[in-house]
Amino acid sequence: MGREDRRGKRKSREQSRKRRVPELGYYYIVTDTDQTEKNYLEGLRDSIPEVLKGKIVIKVTKSRTVDLVKTCKEGASLYPQYSEPWIVFDRDQVKDFDGIIKNAEQSGIHAGWSNPCLEIWLYAYFGSMPNIQDSVSCCNRFAIEYERRTGQKYDKAEKDLYKKLCEFGNEENAIKIAQQKRKQCIENGLLIPSEMIPCTMVDLLINEVTNKFLNNENRSESEKIKTDIRGGSNYDN
């Protein structure tokens, strides 16, 4: 009797675990900073619509730059069949920038890199990705544009960074700009990440996640309409 109870409890726990599986994806994202990248990505996480919480999970954690791939592989093993592992970092002064990206890709991990820094991607929310070669200049120029657009000083520790970029900028247009810049680099024969400037791959992550938001909303609305039609229909035989 006791054995059956234990089996019953075990089955119940397994069923409960299955219900918690994030059917739209478990995004395990590792970055190498405590500030800009982490705050931006946590803002993306916090923007998940209430109806999707549990269906899509975004976990953001920090690691040393040299351990990005290793940390990501370990964390993504939680939901191996549903995991979308990403590392997000920028060139800045990273010595083995290209090597880390290659290692990630060979390990089945998406590399959301930016060159020269994440701010070049954030710049795109305001309508452009200027040709800036170094991260210091990029951060300084973005700070000026950010203050002009929002009326507030740019702070790398800003917790509402993602929310403000979406409020005062245009994410959909930013994605198009990033795509255009990447295409230009490729057409110019620049195929090595450290040589592709200005360029980013973070837009791929944002586009993928936000499309899941949108597609689910459209599907939910479609299902509601079908239900309303079925419920309100009166067929005469």
The residue range of the domain holding 161 is 2-213
pTM, entire model = 0.83
CA angle 220, 224, 229 (to 5 degrees): 150
Contact present, 47 and 164 (Cβ < 8 Å): no
Contact present, 212 and 123 (Cβ < 8 Å): no
- Please tell me the total count of domains within the chain: 1
21 found inside a domain: yes
CA gyration radius, the chain: 21
pLDDT at 214: 83
pLDDT at 40: 98
226 found inside a domain: no
223 found inside a domain: no
220 found inside a domain: no
Q: Please say whether the dihedral angle defined by the alpha carbons of residues 215, 75, 157 and 141, taken in this order, is positive or negative.
A: negative
pLDDT at 217: 59
219 found inside a domain: no
Contact present, 113 and 90 (Cβ < 8 Å): yes
pLDDT at 20: 65
> Residue-wise pLDDT tens for the chain (237 aa)?
444 444 444 444 444 444 467 888 899 999 999 899 999 999 999 999 998 988 999 999 999 999 999 999 999 888 888 889 999 999 998 989 999 999 999 999 999 999 999 999 999 999 999 999 999 999 999 999 999 999 999 999 999 999 999 999 999 999 999 999 999 999 999 999 999 999 999 999 999 999 998 887 554 443 443 344 344 444 344
pLDDT at 215: 82
